[in-house]
Amino acid sequence: MGNRESGELSTNHIRYLLACLCLWLLSATSAWAQTPNDSQFPIPDSPPLEISLLTIGPGPIFWERFGHNAIVVRDRAAGTAIAYNYGIFDFDQDDFLVNFARGHMRYRIAADDLEDDIDMYREESRSITEQHLAFTPEQAAVLRDFLVWNTRPENAYYHYEYFLANCSTRVRDALDQALGGAIKRDTEGRSHGYTYRMDALRLMAAEPLLMLGIDLGLGPSADERIDFWRESFVPAVLARALHEVRAIDAEDRQPLVTAERLIATGTVAEPPELPPDLRLGFLLLGLALGLLIFRLRSSKAFAARLPLAIFAGVFELFCGIGGLLLLVLWFWTDHQSAWRNENLLLLNPLCLALIPAAVSLARAQPRISRWTMRLAWLIAALAAFALFSKILPWFAQANLHWILLFLPIHIALAIGMGRTVDTR
- 123 found inside a domain: yes
Give the residue numbers spanning the domain of 142: 49-264
Last residue of a domain, one of 264, 294, 316: 264
For residue 143, give Cα distances in angstroms to 40, 113, 179, 339, 351: 20, 17, 9, 36, 54
Indicate if 287 and 412 belong to the same structural domain. yes
Does residue 77 sit within a domain?
A: yes
* pLDDT tens track for 321-336: 999 999 999 999 989 9
**End of a domain among 207, 239, 264?**
264
Residue 151's CATH number:
3.90.1720
The answer as to whether 113 is a domain residue is: yes
101 vs 105, 209, 305, CA distance in Å? 9, 18, 39
- Is 400 inside any structural domain? yes
- Same domain flag for 58 and 146: yes
Residue 26: inside a domain, yes or no?
A: no
Whether 324 and 357 map to the same domain: the answer is yes
Per-residue pLDDT, 5: 31
Whether 91 and 196 map to the same domain: the answer is yes
Helix ranges (H only) for 2-135 are 2-33, 96-102, 114-123
DSSP H helical ranges for 206-349? 208-217, 228-231, 235-241, 279-298, 302-331
Where the chain has pLDDT below 70, the residues are: 1-46, 91-94, 96, 248-252, 419-424
End-to-end CA distance of the chain: 140
Q: Are residues 54 and 138 in the same domain?
A: yes
The answer to whether residue 2 is domain-embedded is: no
Residue 220 belongs to a domain: yes
Q: How many residues does the chain have?
A: 424
379 within some domain: yes
Q: What are phi and psi of 83, to 5 degrees?
A: -105, 120
Q: 360 and 235 in one domain?
A: no
Show which of 264, 293, 313 is a domain's final residue. 264
Could you tell me if 166 and 226 lie in one domain?
Answer: yes
pLDDT, tens digit, for every residue of 111-170?
Answer: 999 999 999 999 999 999 999 999 999 999 999 999 999 999 999 999 989 899 999 999
* 171 touches 69 (CB < 8 A): yes
Examine the domain organization and report whether 144 and 207 are in the same domain: yes
Q: Are residues 330 and 227 in the same domain?
A: no
- Pair 317, 306: CB distance under 8 Å: no
Claim to verify: residue 391 and residue 253 sit in the same structural domain: no
Give all strands (DSSP E) within 58-152, no chain letters.
68-75, 80-88, 106-113, 128-133
pTM exceeds 0.85, yes or no = no
Query: How many domains does the chain divide into?
Result: 2
Please tell me whether residues 252 and 303 are part of one structural domain.
no
On whether both 231 and 293 belong to a single domain, the answer is no
pLDDT for res 316: 97
**What are 88-97's pLDDT values in tens digits?**
877 666 676 7
